[in-house]
Every structure is written in C-alpha cells, then in structure tokens.
Amino acid sequence: MKLRETAGAIVAVSTLLLAAVAPPSGFARAQPHTASPQSQSAGGVNWPGFRGENASGVAEGHATPVTWNIESSQNIAWRTSIDGLGHSSPIIWGDLVCVTTASTEGDESLRVGLYGDIEPVKDDSVHSWQVICLDKRSGELRWQREAHRGVPAIPRHPKATHANSTLATDGEHIVAFFGSEGLYSYDMEGNLLWQKNLGVLESGFFQVPSALWGFAASPVIHQGMVIIQADVLNDSFVAAFDVADGTEVWRTARDDVPTWSTPAVRHGPGQAQLIVNGYRHIGGYDPRTGTELWRMTGGGDVPIPTPVVSGDLVFITNSHGTGSPIYAIRATAAGDISLQGGASSNRHIAWSQPREGAYMPTPVIYGAHLYLLRDNGVLAVYDAETGDRLYRQRLGPGGSGFTASPVAADGKVYFTSEDGDVYVVRAGAEYELLADNDMGEVCMATPAISEGMLFYRTRSHLVAISVPSPE
C-alpha cells in the first residue's frame, strides 16, 4: 500500500502492489494541473531535471532547513512510500513532484557500500516501469502511469535499479527514459503523448562486457528537443527528438564506451553547447544540429558525473582506472583540446587536477567554489577560477559510500551518504559542519530543492523537508 505519513499519521493514498504478470490496475486518475509554466518560472520553484536548472544543483531565494528528524517528524512536511526500486531523482514543476520506479515480485535487494563486485543481479522476473507524480505540498498521489511491463532487457548492477534515469520536464511535457525499455513523454496530467523504442542499450564495463549494469543517463529538454546521451557497448550516440511528437531531429554517432553521465547545456553568451562527459570523447556539440564543436580525451574509464557549467568555464570530472581528473574547460573551446605532454592547462583548458576527480557524485559550483565529493566520502573544495584546493575533509567516520550528488542553497551544501546520512556544510573556504541528519534508509538519489523545501528519494520513500515553522 502506498502510504503518506504526516506528523506521525499514516494515510492510505493508493495501492501499488501489482501482480507479476497481470495487467496493471488501480492506477489513480489524473488530477487537474493548475500551475502554468509561465507562473512557475522564477523564485526557485522548479527543479526540472537531474540536479535542477541546467544540472547546476543550486536553488536560491528561500531559506532551507539545517536539521530534521525522521523519527519525531521534526521539519518533515510529509513522507510518502514508493514501491519498487528507483535511483531517479525527484523533479519539480509548480505543485508537482515526480519520480520513476521499477517494481517486481522478484529480486529487489540493494547492496550498497564500497566494494568491487561487478557481477550483475540475475533476475528475469516481470517488472513494471512507472512514473509517479505527487502533490508537492501534501505528498498525496496526483497520478501514476505504467510506461512498460516485461522482463528487463539488461540486468542491473547490485547497487543500481531499473529506474536510474531522472525525469525531465519543461512545464508542458514530462519525459521518462528507461534505457532499453524506451523513451516516453507525458503531458502534465499524465496522458501519454508518445513513446519510442531505441533498441537494446547495453551498458556495462567495456573491459568485461558481461558485466551489464543498466542504463543511467537522464534526458535533457532544450528548446523544444529531448536530448539523450546513449554511450553503450555498441553504436553509441547522442540524439535529439522533438518534444512534441518524438520525431528524431538529429543523431550523432559517438566512438565511446559505456558511460552513465547526463549531458548539460551551456546557454551562452555566444553559441549554446551540449556538453558530454566520456572516456574516449569528452566534448561539446551544437544542440541545434548535433555537430561536434570540440573534443578531448584523458580521464577515467567509467565516466559518471555530469558536466557542470559556471560562467565561462565547464567543469568535468571522472574516475576509475588510471585516470581521475578534474578539468576546467573554457567555453570558447574548439577542435581537439586534449592536454599534451603532461601539461595541466592550455589555451582551451584553464586548469586541471590529474588525480583528484570524482567517481560517482557530480560536483557543485556554489559561489566562488567547486565542491567535489569522492565516493569514499572525502570532500575537496577548490577555488573554481584557479583550481587551488582550499581544504580536504572526510565526511562521517568513513566506510560509507557516496553516490548522490551534492546540492546547494541558502549558504549551505548538502552531501548524502548511501547509508542515509545527510551532512550539511556551511559554504565557504573553510570547513564547518552544521548538521548530520539521518534519513533512516538507504539514499542513493540526488535530492531536489523547491521554495526552500528539500525532497529526498530514499530506498522506499519520497520525503519533503521544510524549514521550521515560526514560533
């Protein structure tokens, strides 16, 4: 049963348990969507995709909470259970907050922590891939839709799910990408507009192709197009589709191995650029045509973090294998900008750090600083313009893994461990821990921020955290 827990009360909202092979039933009818895209476009309201506006991970304009307590419901606005497994982050538009999930009567175990096992989960049970939208204020179900039902085409990593990719919205469409299970577009009331089968997208470690780990890159909506990056074992590509009807606008082949990074768009001044992470091909494309603008090599062989755009610089990091770099790339980059002969910079690359990159979390630029968190919990903070490291600090006692990316607001940066500890750090050149809050569950997904509220996707819940009420 899907449940909403508010101030200790438990209210039944909707039944989500589905028979493994029966047709879906009991899905809630869509409620009227009253917020218009125009009325919700400012003031830190919307968080339209992975890491919010343009994947920045930053939301300003409202006070955000420092402390909360799940058990006592302190500063907990609501807590709604979500069936199945999903690491997709919440997205927010107006009064809707939406996530994806993949439920099954088969193996729904998660193995978190720091380990090197690359064996995928063997589970050929029938799954149900779903999009779920809740009311942002109350946590009550607004609508849910089953996008696909069947046996997964690709197995998942024991730490991953079949719903890793975060939704994207422009206020008129909500786009879900389930990898080999397809690309889907809904209107804001949950009506299916179109769907596309992009074939089997085999994502795994290229040096051990049998280690199929599932898909994770999220879609991006830009100027009426849905853009996806599909770096897979065979026939990698980046492509754009018309958000209105799914018509393919362009497709550009990529000579790269599987990556799990979501692309980002730099909006100028000057020409807009679609920026992608990669192993063989980090690069920029013209988002209107898919034409390559620049490229470089030199990094970790399992690229996961999303590129981060700040001013005239693009920050890219990755890890694994022999490479673990941080690059600060100038927006004017063109052609092959790869570093040569052990250089740390050139006319296209403002600075780099060759062995200080991040494996899982995407860094955040907040103010003048770059906050970069390794998956082992070591936080490093840099001057974003110069690359000078200001401090390095381990979060927590050690031993926990970190997969969720940091987000920032109201002079604070939020870091979330896989064990569910949220470390709230004061933004600045010196380390100051403000709070350590326990979510009470495994937490792999990056949180969202809207109007001062924090939205955390945990193992079994979506949780809304608010600032304390005035006395």
For residue 54, which phi and psi values (nearest 5 degrees)? 55, 30
Sole residue written with tokens 């577009």:
185
Query: 471 in a domain, yes or no?
Result: no
Residue type, 314: V
Task: Please tell me the predicted confidence (pLDDT) of residue 107.
Answer: 87
- The tens digit of pLDDT for each residue in 224-256 reads 999 999 999 999 999 999 999 999 999 999 999
CA distance 228 to 241: 9
CA distance 217 to 51: 13
Number of domains present in the structure of the chain: 1
Percent of all residues in the chain with a pLDDT value above 90, rounded to a whole number: 82
Sorting pLDDT into bands at 50, 70 and 90, what band is 25?
A: very low
Task: Please tell me the predicted confidence (pLDDT) of residue 212.
Answer: 85
- The tens digit of pLDDT for each residue in 367-386 reads 999 999 999 999 999 999 99
CA distance 416 to 446: 8
Query: 470 in a domain, yes or no?
Result: no
Q: Identify whether the C-beta of residue 294 lies closer than 8 Å to the C-beta of residue 337.
A: yes
For the chain, the distance separating the N- and C-terminal CA atoms, rounded to the nearest angstrom, is 35
CA distance 302 to 356: 15
Mean pLDDT of all residues in 340-348 = 95
Task: Please tell me the predicted confidence (pLDDT) of residue 116.
Answer: 82
Sorting pLDDT into bands at 50, 70 and 90, what band is 40?
A: very low
Q: b/e string for 257-285 if b means 16 or more Cβ within 10 A?
A: bbbbbbbbbbeeeeebbbbbbbbbbbbbb
Q: Which of 53-57, 147-151, 320-324 has the lowest mean pLDDT?
A: 320-324
CA distance 17 to 24: 9
Task: Please tell me the predicted confidence (pLDDT) of residue 471.
Answer: 55
* pTM as predicted: 0.91
Task: Please tell me the predicted confidence (pLDDT) of residue 43.
Answer: 56
Kind of pairing between the strands at 335-336 and 292-296: parallel
Sorting pLDDT into bands at 50, 70 and 90, what band is 270?
A: confident
Query: 293 in a domain, yes or no?
Result: yes
Sole residue written with tokens 């343009």:
54
Give me 255's structure tokens. Answer: 């000579």
Query: 177 in a domain, yes or no?
Result: yes
Q: Which of 14-18, 105-109, 176-180, 467-471 has the lowest mean pLDDT?
A: 14-18
Query: How many of the other CB atoms lie within 10 Å of CB of 114?
Result: 13
CA distance 216 to 64: 29
Mean pLDDT of all residues in 443-454 = 98
Q: Which domain holds residue 337?
A: 2-465
Q: Cis peptide leading into 305, omega within 30 of 0?
A: no
CA distance 469 to 205: 48
For residue 76, what is the domain's CATH number? 2.130.10.10
